[in-house]
Structure 1
Amino acid sequence: MLDDRAKKLLLSLIAQYIGQGQPVASKALIEHAGLELSSATVRNVMADLERMGLIVSPHTSAGRVPTPQGYRFFVDAMMTVGQYSSVEDDLLQAQLQPDTPQRLVATAASLLSQVSQFAGVISTPKRSGQQVFRQIEFLSLSTQRILVIVITPDGDVQNRLLHVAEPYSASQLVEAANYLNSHYAGIPLSQIQKTIKQELSHLQQRVADLMQAAISQPVQDATTQLEDALIVKGERHLLNVNELTSDMNRLRQTFHLFDEKTRLLQLLEQASTADGVQIFIGGESDVLPFDGVSIISAPYSENNQIIGTLGVIGPSRMAYDKMIPLVNVTAQILSRVLSHTSTTTNIEY
């Protein structure tokens, strides 16, 4: 428990450190906090805060910097989300215009990175096996390789490579594509998989096998799903953050988090169950075990149903008073635009 004096000094110290990036000494803290206290009293309070694990003295410096627990206290004290500046709000509103869901979420991640000057991250809308195609084609690359060309309802083109035991003739490839396009275009792949075996019994066995393989691969390709499920933009901005570039181990751990998409997706999945903005501060728990990095996230929705999470990844020494509203406003605008897009175009994920 902290008394009011200790709280004010702690919050003042963290705000000063966030603004200047230098350890805060007692004299500077007295001037910034605006309290009528002696230097000895402030030093005693700071010693108490250090014993409580809220601040620490780096190396031989006379000043103090916040710990992950200190940042948590600071964030919890100012978690009321305020209004973001109208200029940046207008920027987000102008950029996030009705479009395909895939391009909208990519734009949102880019905007988060652009405005924050950190990394923007977003988990793409959950599809839960509801992928559909508008058109599908087969192209023989060799006697044992067939390229499956899938055109989505949004006009995006996806390629899948099938390995086959024996070659297919051009007429067999055309027959398989024509049948799939005429009978299954616009139907969720998970639904097709349940019925395709029975419905293809009258076709030549090898043509039926080819169609089943083409339908099952996009759903079962876990690596592709993982890559598609997460978008990260602007990681390069973190190379301009002194706290990260001065500690190569911390910088390496941060970029490893981007490569280790499973953990980052788990973090965002956890945030999707939160009511509004959620903040992960590195080093305070096993969720984000290394310190110096924070993630501010918020879920976004379509027609009041949460379908993903977006956020900003940056140093723990970030301007939370700006980053929290930025993430909150972006999630709200994206939710509004996605709901409008789905209502007017009836888009399937």
Structure 2
Amino acid sequence: MLDDRSKLLMKALVERYIADGQPVGSRTLSKASGLELSPATIRNVMSDLEELGLIVSPHTSAGRIPTARGYRLFVDTMLTAQPAQYASHSLAPDQPQRVISNAANLLSSLSQFVGVVVAPRRASVFRHMEFLRLSERRVLVIIVSPDGDVQNRVIYTEVDYTQAQLVETANFLNSNYLGLDIEQVRDRLKGEVESLRSEIASLMQAAVTAGTEAMTETQDDVVISGERNLLSVSDFSSDMSHLRRAFDLFEQKAQLMRLLDNTGQAEGVRIFIGGESQVVPFEDLSIVSSPYEVDGKVVGTLGVIGPTRMAYDRMIQIVDITSKLVSNALSHHK
């Protein structure tokens, strides 16, 4: 447990380091904290904080910087919430994929770091299906999901269907199988194939196969924006190996998804600081994340990835507000 004086000095040290990026010495800390303490007293407190593993002296510098444990203490007990400054931003109700993309861009532009959004898993239920004859034995299948997402697939058929036959088949599918999962449609078609005219039955089976592929194929599950922002972050630009590790993480979207899926298990904004656990594998990266909802149900996660030396209070605001904007835009897009 830290006494009030140690807490004040610790808070001042972290804030000064986040602002300047330079190790903080006792003289700077004396001014930043506003406490009238002798340099010797401050040095003693810093020595105690160092023994507790909260700060460390890099290389031969006389100053100190926070450790992952120090950042965690700061984030959990010393952050003072600022009033939201980003209320003027908005995300219009739109195609879900566009909302997700716009949200990643918004997170990136507000934070000046990397914005990441894990997209909601696409439902395999269709709201509407249409067929369009492209040429002999080539048919465009248009599948509309309940959330308005549109998927197109070209299928090659054994028979050359007329547009009238295609319309008849689409009408049959839309009136009999509306709202069913694509797999349920496939199962029901197997049982009803005998009673359907053979040419329409084979078209429907081809369409359902295309629909299954379209709805279940790997979509852009993780949308990332602003990786280039890290090039101008001194913590990374001064060490190319740090930068390479960060970019490797963005390339490995499966790992990034696992990272953000972990963060989506809890309500509200969460902060993961690199080096304090296995959740964030790199000491120099931190993640501020929040789940987002559609109609009250959590469907995905979004966040900001940046250096451990980030203005956490601002990032919390940015992530919290973007999460609410995404929830609102997706819930009102029907």
**Does TM-score exceed 0.5, indicating one fold?**
yes
Shift of 1:39: 1.6
CA contact (8 A) 1:302 1:335 kept: yes
Shift of 1:336: 2.6
5 Å-filtered alignment, 1:287-326, equals: 287-326=279-318
CA contact (8 A) 1:196 1:212 kept: no
Q: 1:57 to 1:157 in 2, by over 3 A?
A: same
| Helix, strand or coil at the partner of 1:22 | coil
Q: Deviations over 1:303-340 (max 9, x none)?
A: 2211221111111111112111111112123223333x
> 1-side partners of 2:78 and 2:130: how far apart?
51
Q: Which residue of the partner structure matches residue 179 of structure 1? A: 169
CA contact (8 A) 1:147 1:159 kept: no
Higher mean C-alpha deviation, range 42-51 or range 177-186: 177-186
CA contact (8 A) 2:111 2:315 kept: yes
- 1:31 alignment partner AA: K
CA contact (8 A) 1:136 1:151 kept: no
Shift of 1:149: 5.0
Shift of 1:137: 5.0
CA contact (8 A) 1:139 1:173 kept: no
| Helix, strand or coil at the partner of 1:200 | helix
> 1-side partners of 2:15 and 2:310: how far apart?
10
Higher mean C-alpha deviation, range 25-34 or range 195-204: 195-204
> 1-side partners of 2:266 and 2:163: how far apart?
48
Higher mean C-alpha deviation, range 40-49 or range 291-300: 40-49
Shift of 1:170: 3.5
Q: Which residue of the partner structure matches residue 89 of structure 1? A: 87
Question: Sequence identity, in percent?
Answer: 44
Q: Which residue of the partner structure matches residue 214 of structure 1? A: 210
TM-score (norm 1): 0.82
5 Å-filtered alignment, 1:59-74, equals: 59-74=59-74
CA contact (8 A) 1:200 1:208 kept: no
Q: Which residue of the partner structure matches residue 18 of structure 2? A: 18
Q: Which runs of 5 or more residues in structure 1 are unaligned? A: none
> 1-side partners of 2:105 and 2:285: how far apart?
19
RMSD between superposed Cα atoms in Å: 2.9
| Helix, strand or coil at the partner of 1:89 | coil
- 1:111 alignment partner AA: L
CA contact (8 A) 2:273 2:286 kept: yes
- 1:89 alignment partner AA: A
Q: 1:182 to 1:250 in 2, by over 3 A?
A: farther
Q: 1:160 to 1:26 in 2, by over 3 A?
A: farther
Q: Which residue of the partner structure matches residue 197 of structure 1? A: 190
Q: 1:13 to 1:129 in 2, by over 3 A?
A: same
- 1:218 alignment partner AA: A
Shift of 1:160: 5.0
Higher mean C-alpha deviation, range 188-197 or range 167-176: 167-176
Shift of 1:244: 1.2
> 2-side partners of 1:11 and 1:136: how far apart?
63
Q: Which residue of the partner structure matches residue 266 of structure 2? A: 274
Higher mean C-alpha deviation, range 75-84 or range 329-338: 75-84
> 1-side partners of 2:129 and 2:106: how far apart?
30
Q: Which runs of 5 or more residues in structure 2 are unaligned? A: none
5 Å-filtered alignment, 1:245-264, equals: 245-264=237-256
Pick aligned residue for 2:124 from 102, 123, 129? 129
